[in-house]
Copies of this chain bind each other. A is one copy, B any other.
Amino acid sequence: MMHTIRRLLIGKPLHNRELAHERLPKWKALSIFSSDALSSVAYGPEQIMLTLVGVSGVMAYGYMGPIAISILVLLGIVALSYVQVAKANPSGGGAYAVTKKNLGEMPSLVVAGAVFADYVLTAAVSVAAGTDAIVSAFPGLAGHDVTIDLAVLFIVLMLVNLRGVRESSDAFVLPTYAFLFGVVSLLVVGLYKAFFLAPELIPATSMAKEPMDWAMLFLILRGFANGCSSMTGVEAIADSVPMFKAPESRNATITTYWMASILGVMFLGIAFLIMHYHIMPVPDVTAMSQLAENVFGRNGAYFYIQITTMLVLYLAANTAYNGLPILLSIIARDGYLPRYLATRGERLTYSNGIILLTIAAGMLIVIFNGRIDHLISLYAIGVFISFTMAQSSMVLHWKREKGSYWMLRALLNGLGALSTGIVVIVITVTKFIYGAWIILLFIPLMICLFKAIRRHYDAMAKQLHLPLETGRSQQEIMSVKARHLVIVPVATPTSVVYETIKYAKVISDNIVAVNVASDEDAERKVREKWETWNPGVELVILQSPYRLLMNPLLTYIEQRANTKNPNDYITVLIPEFETKEWWHRFLHNQSGWILRMTLIIFRKNIIVTTVPYHLNE
């Protein structure tokens, strides 16, 4: 039955040869790789606004414009830098691979921890933002956000990804373009109204600001840091160069320019409209929803915006599912994570990684109660750490490889590394107490874990190594000489004991039956029966006046194990009743199971054998 449910949910196993990649044209690649980056305009500009007006009594709305423009400049630098990455790494590979190649183990582990945190946050933030979009449109859903978030994570995203979907599926192309169409319409209509129909372009309230001081600077920088969340996902195209049609690098470069341009336009446009309509925080209603309502009114166009926003955000969460399990499998293959994260499941997906991501994102959503403004403080720092590392790697790369215009390219990547490095510092300082410390604690912890796992695997490989060529191990195994003692715990002579001892005689000549008696009367009875039967096997009776069964048995086994020659074997034979009806199992005590588990887990050098005895009735 479990099997049927599994097949229904996940589908039938897939053959190895069904693993294949399709090359993508630019228009498809754009929609598939940039849903993460583009969808972030749904919360990025809003987060700047929330930071500036969130603190009661402070007038800081007026700094929104400068912040938006700074982010736009940063976006330009990062996009240009990533074009260099795409050119230098036609075989693809994200920041982890690039850093490992150019900067070595430690920096690559920093990136691994940072990217891991950021993928999980991408899933959590995008799902939560998608739900916010739909809750804004249907206020009746308010209060059920976390439930909706978890349903989307566990029922939609996890199951779809466990089944495995081709990244190139049209289902992923449509929502991105539908969303683009919606946002562009919103901007066109909104800008037309602002320029030709409204009394003023930006109301005075949106320009008001208090004079600059240290506290105000800190607030502005935090708004900038939160706005940087809009730039997560910019690296996706450069990481996936081999997925493009030939010429891969050129196509990837062009797509990066498109993506950055569209993102820049949308980001600036939305930031402008937020200022124009002087959008303020409203509980359970997103800034995008307020904008759309101001521009279109609450009609079909409004609902189109909200629904496509929701879809593209859920799709953005899905990019974490495309990226993280593969990244985990690469890290696991390097020995820094459990091996089973590196094996493909029956549907050719990295099932363990998918489940891990779902659980981690689900926990974040539950802990932060599905609130983006809280999650956002953890977000982006990981991405910018990996940006900095990747760009620094590229500087070394150009310096080593040289090639045409290498100094210019190195300079460009150097500028990228410098500016993203500054952003890392800004984020760290301004969001530290709001949650960035969690990530800054998480990354070193992950590095320790990575290293400990690698140490264990290295040590194990050394221990498991068998010198095949020397022939020594072959000679030894061909001439095994060892004594073998078989211990059979028995209650009273029954046909189960008979069958068990029969098997014992097949595997050894040295057998001892052990009985635990709680008083002398019981001991005498068992001994009499044994002597009547006389199966040619010694019977040892252990006294247990406290009616304990396990302790005397374990003590006896241990004692025999301690006095044996290290090359000899001790096998404990445990009979196991297999009842005909499942519920009959509960009519027998479970001491067989308990003894087996105890011996396997806690006792060294004891071999445990289960001899099944099937009851017919």
Find the B residue at minimum CB distance from A582.
Answer: B601
- Identify which of A463, A473, A477 gathers the most chain B CB atoms within 10 Å of its CB: A477
* A584→B458 CA distance, assembly (Å): 12
Q: Which residues, 442 to 473 on A, are CB-close (under 8 Å) to B? A: 453, 456-457, 459-460, 462-466, 468-469, 473
Q: Which residues, 345 to 401 on A, are CB-close (under 8 Å) to B? A: 345-346, 348
1/0 contact string of A190-203 vs chain B (CB within 8 Å):
00000000000000
Q: Which residues, 474 to 500 on A, are CB-close (under 8 Å) to B? A: 474, 476-478, 480, 482, 484, 493-498
Cβ-defined contact, A508 with B505, below 8 A? no
Residues of B within 8 A of A339 (CB): 587-589
Cβ-defined contact, A546 with B494, below 8 A? no
Find the B residue at minimum CB distance from A343.
Answer: B547
Known: A477-B502, A536-B478, A609-B607. Is A496-B464 also a contact (CB below 8 A)? yes
For residue A147, CB closer than 8 A to chain B, the reply is no
Nearest CB of B to A75, in Å: 41
Known: A339-B589, A505-B477. Is A607-B616 also a contact (CB below 8 A)? no
* A95→B616 CA distance, assembly (Å): 36
* A589→B609 CA distance, assembly (Å): 21
Residues of B within 8 A of A103 (CB): none
Cβ-defined contact, B13 with A503, below 8 A? no
Residues of B within 8 A of A505 (CB): 477, 480
* A470→B477 CA distance, assembly (Å): 44
Q: Which residues, 15 to 56 on A, are CB-close (under 8 Å) to B? A: 15-17
For residue A340, CB closer than 8 A to chain B, the reply is yes
For residue A334, CB closer than 8 A to chain B, the reply is no
Residues of B within 8 A of A518 (CB): 16
Known: A466-B497, A535-B474, A607-B503. Is A576-B548 also a contact (CB below 8 A)? no
* A480→B457 CA distance, assembly (Å): 45
Known: A495-B466, A505-B480, A546-B15. Is A609-B612 also a contact (CB below 8 A)? no
Q: Which residues, 514 to 535 on A, are CB-close (under 8 Å) to B? A: 518-519, 529, 532-535
Q: Which listed residue (B465, B576, B615) contacts A460, Cβ 8 A?
A: B615
Find the B residue at minimum CB distance from A344.
Answer: B547
For residue A586, CB closer than 8 A to chain B, the reply is yes
Q: Which listed residue (B484, B535, B545, B571) contacts A478, Cβ 8 A?
A: B535
Residues of B within 8 A of A344 (CB): 547
* A306→B518 CA distance, assembly (Å): 46
Cβ-defined contact, A346 with B546, below 8 A? yes
Residues of B within 8 A of A601 (CB): 578
Find the B residue at minimum CB distance from A493.
Answer: B466
Nearest CB of B to A617, in Å: 4
* A16→B547 CA distance, assembly (Å): 8
Number of interface residues of A (CB under 8 A): 85
* A611→B607 CA distance, assembly (Å): 5
Cβ-defined contact, B545 with A16, below 8 A? yes
Cβ-defined contact, A464 with B617, below 8 A? no
Residues of B within 8 A of A581 (CB): 456
Known: A15-B546, A507-B507, A609-B571. Is A495-B463 also a contact (CB below 8 A)? yes
* A581→B507 CA distance, assembly (Å): 33
Copies of this chain, count: 2
* A498→B13 CA distance, assembly (Å): 33
Q: Which residues, 307 to 348 on A, are CB-close (under 8 Å) to B? A: 338-340, 343-346, 348
Nearest CB of B to A515, in Å: 15
Nearest CB of B to A494, in Å: 4
Known: A14-B546, A460-B615. Is A466-B482 also a contact (CB below 8 A)? no
Nearest CB of B to A501, in Å: 6
Find the B residue at minimum CB distance from A505.
Answer: B480
Known: A474-B535, A477-B501, A494-B465. Is A587-B457 also a contact (CB below 8 A)? yes
For residue A512, CB closer than 8 A to chain B, the reply is no
Nearest CB of B to A332, in Å: 10
Residues of B within 8 A of A13 (CB): 546-548
* A600→B72 CA distance, assembly (Å): 64
Cβ-defined contact, B532 with A469, below 8 A? yes
* A344→B459 CA distance, assembly (Å): 48
Cβ-defined contact, A608 with B610, below 8 A? yes
Residues of B within 8 A of A493 (CB): 466, 468
For residue A506, CB closer than 8 A to chain B, the reply is yes
Q: Which residues, 417 to 462 on A, are CB-close (under 8 Å) to B? A: 453, 456-457, 459-460, 462
Cβ-defined contact, A480 with B502, below 8 A? yes
1/0 contact string of A578-617 vs chain B (CB within 8 Å):
1101001011110000001000110011111111101111
* A498→B496 CA distance, assembly (Å): 33
Residues of B within 8 A of A533 (CB): 466, 468, 473-474
Cβ-defined contact, B587 with A453, below 8 A? yes
Nearest CB of B to A562, in Å: 15
Q: Which listed residue (B345, B495, B612) contacts A464, Cβ 8 A?
A: B495
Cβ-defined contact, B600 with A610, below 8 A? yes
For residue A304, CB closer than 8 A to chain B, the reply is no
Residues of B within 8 A of A218 (CB): none
For residue A569, CB closer than 8 A to chain B, the reply is yes
1/0 contact string of A554-589 vs chain B (CB within 8 Å):
000000000000000101000010110100101111
18 interchain pairs, CB-CB under 8 A: A13-B547, A15-B546, A339-B587, A343-B547, A346-B546, A346-B547, A456-B579, A460-B615, A463-B616, A464-B494, A464-B496, A466-B494, A466-B498, A468-B493, A468-B529, A480-B502, A507-B508, A604-B614
Other A-B pairs, 4, CB within 8 Å; known A466-B495, A607-B612: A460-B615, A482-B506, A503-B569, A600-B612
The 7 A-B pairs at the shortest CB distance, nearest first, are namely A459-B617, A464-B494, A13-B546, A507-B507, A609-B609, A468-B533, A480-B505
